[in-house]
Amino acid sequence: MADDDHSELPTVLVLRRCPFIALLEPKCSQKFNLLKAWDSPLPQDRFLTTHARSVQALLSSGNGPPITAQILQLLPSLKLVVTNSTGLDHVDLAECRRRGIAVANAAKVFAEDVADTAVGLFIDVMRKISASNRYVRGGLWACRGDYPLGSKIGGKKVGIVGLGSIGLEVAKRLEAFGCSVSYNSRSEKPSLSYQFYSNVCELAADSDALIICCGLTEETHHMINKEVLSALGREGVIVNVGRGAIIDEKEMVECLVRGEIGGAGLDVFENEPNVPKELFSLDNVVLSPHQAIVTHEAFVDLGELVTGNLEAFFSNKPLLSLAVIN
């Protein structure tokens, strides 16, 4: 393991290997010295104490590990956390604020790709695309005949939970399909013409579908609960591209199994990569392995944004996508 103190390039700590880091590495390693905690035989705590005391920047992945107060304690020189995700639920933001650590996220880089996934899942559930794909592949079209009807998308009332950059992109797309859009968000956005609901349960009651686009916070944890799912109703569809824990997953699975909601398109789960087994036998559910951002193009854009944020930091320039002020 290289001793970062002697490198000419600024050091950036990375705790865990992940596909994103692997993709980023060729470009990043030309500008930064990547200090890879996972490469060391030492346990993480020992490694940080031994090698990372003067590290100023940490590159974090939305897939983990969580940047906890405990980890931050072992990094006394840390001044910047850059994450490859829009979501910040894996970072102890309060502790960062206390320690004067800036946090930069992926901001709007993914908004389009995530919105595309959300709408793709929504169309799939409504028109049963994946299910009928399996039907044809199983040879059933020839022997059993036509596949059952799907549901028309045009005219449906779609409630967007969280009208941030992702939610706005979803709204724009759904309008082109003739859906009517309303939303619940932390605050109303008066410049937009969509109908605002201050209560997510009321939004569910008045919608044919809910699309979850918000961040995971203490307030939004299990926000989509039994009450909201009941309000959504037997014909209602839910799509989640936020975080698994925004929905009470156990409750949702029960509702799906009992037919108390009409269907679901899920890109995120409470305990990834584990997906509740009951969902595997349901044709009205589409399962996606948290890949809403996983396009070649998004990775290129993200790589540029992450590198840009690190370069700005080390040149004492303003960050490109500051999420938390230090």
The residues annotated with a catalytic role in the active site are 243, 272, 290
Specify which residues 151 forms β-bridges with: none
- Chain residues binding other proteins by CB under 8 A are 19, 112-113, 116-117, 119-121, 123-124, 126-130, 132-137, 141-142, 145-155, 172-173, 175-178, 272-275, 280, 286-291, 294-299
C-alpha pair distances (Å), 262 with each of 230, 236, 252, 257, 267:
11, 5, 11, 10, 17
- H or E element in which residue 143 lies: helix 140-144
Minimum CB distance to other proteins, residue 287 (Å): 4
Q: Of the two residues 96 and 174, which places its CB atom closer to other proteins in the complex? A: 174
Give me the amino acid identity at 217: T
Minimum distance of other proteins from residue 285's CB (angstroms): 9
Task: Of 254, 253, 279, give the one whose Cα is nearest residue 131.
Answer: 279
> Is the Cβ of residue 206 or residue 283 nearer to other proteins in the bound state?
283
- Closer CB to other proteins, 20 or 32, in the complex: 20
Question: How far apart are CB 257 and other proteins at their closest, in Å?
Answer: 16
Q: Cβ of residue 250: shortest distance to other proteins, in angstroms?
A: 18
Q: Are strands 102-104 and 322-324 parallel, antiparallel or unpaired?
A: antiparallel
Q: Compute the distance between CA of residue 276 and CA of residue 317 in angstroms, rounded to an integer.
A: 46
Are the beta carbons of 9 and 31 closer than 8 angstroms? Answer: yes
Q: Looking at beta carbons only, is 45 or 175 nearer to other proteins?
A: 175
